[in-house]
Amino acid sequence: MDTLLEIKYISPKKGKGIFAKKVIKKGTLVEKAHIILISNKEYEKIQDTILYQYVFEWDDPNKPDFLNAIALSQCQFFNHSYKPNLKYVYDYENQIIEYRTIRHVSNGEELTVNYNGHVRDKSPMWFEVE
């Protein structure tokens, strides 16, 4: 997968982003992120740290004491878009987040996801969207 993607610095406001190193076809798995579950008690402790910005909501119905997770992959650098070219799916059993393209991605194009979890969800973000 690292032959498909590269991380680049974008700007002080956006930070880093992930870009296609070549054309990527629709439906391609571009990232498989393993996660570490965070207990609800531990989550309270990191809310005032930089790690808070990288936490995913993890709604596994079988683990109600672990509602958050941190992914260990470059997926942390997928930026938000209301017109994303990726979607992500949680695999609760294997504690993985999979990222697949939802359309053709051009060489050099930034790969983005909708942070709301659903491709068409236009709910406001906690930050200013460009």
Q: Given pLDDT bands bounded at 50, 70 and 90, which one contains residue 116?
A: confident
In a domain, 120, yes or no: no
Residue 90 in domain: yes
Q: Which helix (DSSP H) or strand (DSSP E) does residue 120 occupy? A: none
Indicate if the pLDDT at residue 22 is higher than 60.
Answer: yes
Residue 60 CA: distances (Å) to CA of 96, 101, 114: 12, 24, 20
pLDDT value of residue 53: 84
Please give the residue range of the domain that contains residue 36: 5-113
Asked if the structure places residue 23 within a domain, the reply is yes
Global pTM? 0.87
Residue 77 three-state SS: helix
Indicate the number of domains in the chain: 1
Q: What is the DSSP letter of 14?
A: T
Report the alpha-carbon distance of residue 37 to residue 64 in Å, rounded: 11
**Residue (of 101, 97, 118) closest to 109 by Cα position:** 101
CATH of the domain at 79: 2.170.270.10
Residue 118 lies in a domain: no
- pLDDT (tens digit, 9 = 90+) per residue, 61-95? 999 999 999 999 999 999 889 899 999 999 999 99
What three-state secondary structure class fits 56?
Answer: strand
